[in-house]
């Protein structure tokens, strides 16, 4: 894995494709163990979670449904603006359903808090959260993350769905800003 240069920023290899795939498969089996008597609805948060969501459901060995929501993103910035807007709502009915919110990364927790509050208004049977990455030192909101792929330092990362100004989502590995 090579370094990636973006202007003056240097991104260094952080999690390999193999490491990510192994952990995603483990998470899928753990979820299936907990949800096997139900048909959960995986709800991906666009755009970042689309790669993780895809691998997660491919490794999920039971019945499930999927849907997506879209929240406003960081845009071209590397830090959170502190505000969330809903850009795309759900298409399915979630009343009495078991929901699994799928995030690529939890940073301050603002997006997850917004999503949970939004969904609970529609009276689902349950709501849990799975995230591939969590930055524990960045958390500012009181959110419970039920399933975590990797805990990482509070550094900006790209690849495997995560962007920098909309690019680099298609990298199979995850890279971390070194400076």
In whole angstroms, the minimum distance from the beta carbon of 127 to ligand 5GP comes to 16
In whole angstroms, the minimum distance from the beta carbon of 37 to ligand 5GP comes to 30
Cβ atoms of 1 and 176 within 8 Å: the answer is: no
Cα(104)–Cα(106) distance, integer angstroms: 7
In whole angstroms, the minimum distance from the beta carbon of 82 to ligand 5GP comes to 8
Residue from 104, 107, 146, 163 carrying the catalytic annotation: 107
Is the CB of 40 or the CB of 48 nearer to ligand 5GP?
48
Q: Is 107 a catalytic residue?
A: yes
Which residues would be at the binding site for ligand 5GP (CB under 6 A)? 45, 48, 73-74, 80, 103-111, 156-158, 162-163
Is the CB of 28 or the CB of 134 nearer to ligand 5GP?
134
Q: Could you tell me how many residues make up the chain?
A: 179
Cα(30)–Cα(147) distance, integer angstroms: 9
Is the CB of 23 or the CB of 155 nearer to ligand 5GP?
155
Question: CB count, 10 Å around CB of 54?
Answer: 15
Single out the residue of 111, 84, 91, 109 nearest to residue 41, CA to CA.
91
User: Which positions are catalytic?
Assistant: 107
């Amino acid at each position: 894995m090579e370094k990636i240069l973006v202007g003056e920023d240097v991104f260094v290899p952080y999690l390999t494709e193999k490491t990510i795939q192994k952990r995603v498969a483990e998470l899928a089996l753990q979820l299936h163990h907990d949800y096997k008597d139900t048909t959960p609805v995986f709800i991906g948060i666009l755009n970042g979670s689309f790669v993780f969501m895809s691998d997660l459901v491919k490794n999920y060995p039971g019945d499930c449904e999927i849907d997506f929501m879209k929240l406003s993103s960081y845009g071209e910035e590397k830090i959170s603006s502190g505000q969330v807007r809903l850009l795309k709502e759900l298409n399915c009915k979630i009343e009495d359903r078991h929901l699994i919110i799928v995030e690529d990364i939890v940073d301050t927790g603002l997006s997850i808090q917004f999503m949970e509050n939004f969904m609970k208004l529609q009276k689902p049977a349950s709501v849990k959260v799975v995230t591939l990455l969590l930055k524990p030192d960045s958390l500012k909101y009181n959110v419970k993350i039920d399933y975590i792929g990797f805990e990482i330092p509070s550094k900006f990362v790209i690849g495997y769905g995560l962007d920098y100004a909309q690019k680099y989502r298609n990298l199979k590995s995850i890279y971390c800003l070194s400076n």
